[in-house]
A and B are shown apart, each in its own frame.
Chain A
Amino acid sequence: MMEMPFTTGSREADAAFAGAAARFFDLLKAFAAQPSAARGQATDWSSFGSLLAGQFEQWLRSAPAAGASFAAAAGFPGAAPGWPPGAVPLGPAAAHPADAQSAWELLMKLGQLQGELARHWSAIAQDSAQRFIARMPATGGADLSSEGALALYETWVECAEAAYAATVRREDFCRLQAQLTNTAMALLLEQRKQADRLARAWGLPTREEADALQRQIRELRRELGERTAQATPRAPRRRPATQRPKATQGSKPKAAGGGRSRRASRVRRGRR
């Protein structure tokens, strides 16, 4: 059957847009409240710069994209939903004391690293504001027409991205990102260890056991593929399949480089 691809349902396409629009209006408010100066006198942009820096720092702390990299995996502000999961509903006290100690240490370390990250966000915000103010006219206020406001906004974005890029490329920032991610992952695994202990107590399969089973299945499939390849003479060429085969549990292609999968073979047989 013919298929028109990629027909999917609706999604909240305007949610992010509305959020950005709200922040844009906040920025416009800041522009509207810019300092004015008497004709010929120098304009004092310092309080305006502080306002912009404050807004930007707040955004950096809360925006998933800005806080992302792998560090967002920490499950803290800015984290992507779903990974890693939040703390299991046990509490470190329910675990073995040594594990609890380890989990607490990781939590403390994560908090400390988050503090370091916050300092970077603050520095980026300040740097952005300084770059922006440096590009403002020395006298008179900014143009508050629609085009003027947009030009101001574009300048602000350029300054913000330049300040961000200058910081996030530095070795210390890159190391911090990696440390955050590594600590978050270690904490996740520590939490899983506790969850596994509880699962074992309840007679439920643990992650380790599931992984061990998967490894066995992979190995068995590999062996099966190799033996099938050795046992089956190469079939004569047939016309190709036209329909996507239905997924069948347990089907597995031959091993690497070993020819077609059993599933594909089944389809070809079905066409005869």
Chain B
Amino acid sequence: MSDPGADAGRLFVDFGARVAETLARLRLARDVRVGSTPRRAVWGDHKTTLYEYLPERRAGAPSTGSASNSAARPKSRPLLVCFALVNRPYILDLQPDSSLIRRLVDAGFTVHLVDWGDPDDGDRLRDLNDYLEQGLGGCVRHILEAHGVEALDLLGVCQGGVLSLCYTALHPRQVANLVTLTTAVDFQTPDDLLSKWVRDLDTELLERAGNVPGELLNALFLSLMPFRLTQQKYVRLLTGRADQRAVEDFVRMERWIFDSPPQAAVALTQFVRWFYQENRLIRGTLELGGRAVDLKSVRAPLLNLYARADHIVPPAACEGLGRYVGSRDYTACAIDTGHIGMYVSRKAREEIPQRIIAWLKARGGELKSRRP
């Protein structure tokens, strides 16, 4: 018969050793790098930077310009990735074996990414239209000009997907194909906890209070499932006897999760009020820069990928997109993972890039060159 005292003693010795081992590995993992695919900045405005990712075999070659760089490769329509304002985009290129961007580059796409940068107090009045027209619009115009094409492919991720939908609705001719990843279109579904929590927020006070630090938004996201997201995952790391590589992968994710940029007061306020509180996108009442955003104007082929177990953007918030857009070529696909899993899980490594690549290639067609 077992002795409870001895059992407890063995338990503490065993877990004590595991903690010590994992802590030692964590200390070695302090300086892990995030981001793996070579890239260069090709355009910038205000705090926004547009990056172009380079194919590995040409990464060491002398810089000769984005258009000429892509000239040696099979000609594909440029692809622009638009990430959310509330997180940093390097989650899409976290490490070589978990990089959606690398997979797209390797598949022959000329991939660009919008990095919104960090708004400071001087940006507190920056609004959604500024982000859309000066930021995203500036990137689009630069790419169209540089590649001599009339339209590009746009991949919008999370909140960046919402911006991409708005941009496509306002500039339908500039977007040949649209892919949305974990993108909400209905912000008031019953399972949307975030939406419930901000429903009665006083947005006038929010705007006057100034920029919102990234730490606060991050705490908000973690508070949706606090015990799992701030306790259980660490205990699992501790007890899982993770090797050095697994610990480094974990630290990369940690860095991304806690590395959230601040939010410009006016833009955040508009997003909370117009999207979460008033659900304007699907009610057809959204106006940006004085122009109505009509989702029926989105007529480009549309691939809508969302997660079945998403605690931030519930599947119900995404799955109805097809009803609201004007696209005849519409494909929706629910993936068996969670919100973060869409970017870094095994699914993210395999299924999601495959789906995007196959879908885009099937709609590649002949490029309409504007060059003589």
Using CB atoms and an 8 Å cutoff, list the residues of chain A in contact with chain B.
1-11, 13-14, 16-21, 23-25, 28, 32, 36, 59-60, 63-70, 72-73, 80-84, 141, 144-146, 149-150, 153-154, 157, 160-161, 164-165, 168-169, 174-175, 177-179, 181-182, 185-186, 188-189, 210-211, 214-215, 218, 237, 239-245, 247, 251-253, 255-257, 259-261, 263-264, 267, 271
With both beta carbons as reference points, the residue of chain B lying nearest to A168 in the complex is identified as: B193
Q: Which residues of B contact A153 (CB under 8 A)?
A: 232, 235
Contact across chains for A146 and B15 when beta carbons are under 8 A apart: yes
Q: Is B251 an interface residue (CB 8 A)?
A: yes
Consensus secondary structure, chain B interface: helix
**Do A244 and B49 contact each other (CB < 8 Å), given the known contacts A6-B33, A185-B206, A260-B138?**
yes
Q: Which residues of A contact B227 (CB under 8 A)?
A: 66, 157, 160-161, 164
Residue pairs across A and B with Cβ atoms less than 8 A apart, 23 shown, are A3-B40, A13-B254, A16-B254, A17-B22, A19-B234, A20-B238, A63-B230, A65-B226, A67-B223, A70-B216, A73-B216, A83-B216, A144-B2, A145-B7, A149-B11, A174-B200, A185-B208, A215-B125, A242-B63, A243-B63, A244-B49, A251-B45, A255-B133
**Across the A-B interface, the 4 shortest Cβ-Cβ residue pairs:** A244-B41, A6-B35, A256-B133, A240-B146
Contact across chains for B234 and A242 when beta carbons are under 8 A apart: no
Which of B64-72, B321-329, B334-342, B356-364 interfaces with chain A? B64-72
Which of B23-31, B178-186, B345-353 interfaces with chain A? B23-31
Using CB atoms and an 8 Å cutoff, list the residues of chain B in contact with chain A.
2, 4, 7-8, 10-12, 14-15, 19, 22-23, 26-27, 29-31, 33-35, 37-46, 49, 51, 54, 59-60, 63-68, 90, 93, 121-122, 124-125, 129, 132-134, 137-138, 141-142, 145-146, 148, 171, 193, 196-202, 205-206, 208-210, 212-213, 215-216, 218-220, 222-223, 225-232, 234-235, 237-239, 251, 254-255, 258-259, 289, 370-371
Contact across chains for A3 and B138 when beta carbons are under 8 A apart: no
Residue of B49, B121, B227 with highest tally of chain A CB at under 10 A: B227
Contact across chains for B59 and A2 when beta carbons are under 8 A apart: yes
Contact across chains for B40 and A70 when beta carbons are under 8 A apart: no
A19 to B26, CA, bound (A): 14
Contact across chains for A69 and B205 when beta carbons are under 8 A apart: no
Contact across chains for A178 and B198 when beta carbons are under 8 A apart: yes
Tell me how far the C-beta of A109 lies from the nearest C-beta in chain B, rounded to whole angstroms. 14
Contact across chains for B234 and A8 when beta carbons are under 8 A apart: no
Q: Which residues of A contact B225 (CB under 8 A)?
A: 161, 164-165
Contact across chains for A20 and B234 when beta carbons are under 8 A apart: yes
Residue of A16, A69, A72, A82 with highest tally of chain B CB at under 10 A: A69
Contact across chains for B196 and A4 when beta carbons are under 8 A apart: no
A5 to B216, CA, bound (A): 25
A66, A242, A256, A260: the one contacting B142 at CB < 8 Å is A260
Q: Which residues of A contact B46 (CB under 8 A)?
A: 252-253
Q: Which residues of A contact B370 (CB under 8 A)?
A: 237
Q: Which residues of A contact B254 (CB under 8 A)?
A: 13, 16
With both beta carbons as reference points, the residue of chain B lying nearest to A210 in the complex is identified as: B121
**Do A257 and B238 contact each other (CB < 8 Å), given the known contacts A178-B198, A182-B201?**
no
With both beta carbons as reference points, the residue of chain A lying nearest to B22 in the complex is identified as: A17
Tell me how far the C-beta of B224 lies from the nearest C-beta in chain A, rounded to whole angstroms. 8
B11, B22, B132, B201: the one contacting A144 at CB < 8 Å is B11
**Do A240 and B42 contact each other (CB < 8 Å), given the known contacts A13-B254, A168-B193, A174-B200?**
yes
Contact across chains for B219 and A146 when beta carbons are under 8 A apart: no
6 further A-B pairs in the complex, CB-CB below 8 A; given A240-B142, A240-B145, A264-B43: A1-B63, A215-B125, A237-B148, A242-B66, A257-B133, A261-B134
Contact across chains for B129 and A256 when beta carbons are under 8 A apart: yes
Contact across chains for A65 and B145 when beta carbons are under 8 A apart: no
